[in-house]
Amino acid sequence: MAQYEQVLMSADGVVSRMRALDAALPARDGVAVFNRVYLAVAEAGDRPVGTRRSPAPGTAITLDVRCAERYLTAVDAVRPPACWRPLFQSRHHPGVRPLQFALAGANAHIGHDLALAVVDACRSLACEPEDLEGEFDAVGDLLVALEDRIREELTPGPELLRIADPLTHLLGAWSLERARDAAWTAARALWALRQQPEVAGEFTDRLDTAVGFAGRMLLTPLPH
């Protein structure tokens, strides 16, 4: 139970930190755009970070918390992971639309953070990735809500979003389902490589770089 209480305290800290970021950052800041949508889903969803209770103490929210902590660690880092750098570097660019900022954040968080969070959770709970598959799917549902909210709040209306608009092509270029499937495969591969730290480190670096490349494409400045 002590471990469960510790995880709950970490979950409360995650939400508090996101609230503090929301209050401190300018509304048009690219990180603020992603953080605002993430926080809204965490607070208002059916399964918000830090509020679910489970008959399996510690397991239920460990993956949620580990995933969110990786995002917040990147925000505070002097040199964040490559997957987050495009968003942080472009966060004030006037040619990047809010929807792009939000999708780039989701890309980094799902493609990179979620995969590594599974490994973090397996180490914390002394279990195998397969033991967390149901929890992974549940976190995936939370992320689907995140994507839905991004598209609902930030996508221009049909009268503005025309087929010739480059934003239309960006919307079709990134898929949460594909990103989530890739994250699960990456997590299982990393866990299988845990006894080979050099290979695991190289795999992690390549994953980080690839996700960062996709994020940079999502943040291509567009004409208004």
Angle at 79 between CA 49 and CA 142, to 5 degrees: 20
What pLDDT shows up at residue 171?
A: 67
> Smallest Cα–Cα separation from 209: which of 220, 201, 199, 221?
201
**pLDDT for 172-216, tens place per residue?**
667 888 899 999 999 999 999 999 999 999 999 999 999 999 999
Q: For CA atoms 62, 67, 68, 71, give the dihedral sign.
A: positive
Q: For CA atoms 72, 49, 214, 134, give the dihedral sign.
A: positive
pLDDT < 70 regions, the chain = 1-9, 44-60, 153-173, 224
What pLDDT shows up at residue 146?
A: 76
> Going by C-beta distance under 8 Å and a sequence separation of 6 or more, which residues neighbour residue 129?
118, 119, 122, 136, 184, 187, 188, 191
What pLDDT shows up at residue 189?
A: 97
What pLDDT shows up at residue 52?
A: 43
What pLDDT shows up at residue 64?
A: 85
> Going by C-beta distance under 8 Å and a sequence separation of 6 or more, which residues neighbour residue 149?
37, 40, 41
What pLDDT shows up at residue 169?
A: 65
What pLDDT shows up at residue 144?
A: 78
What pLDDT shows up at residue 138?
A: 82
What pLDDT shows up at residue 12?
A: 81
Distance CA 224, CA 93 (A): 13
C-beta separation of 161 from 60 below 8 A: no
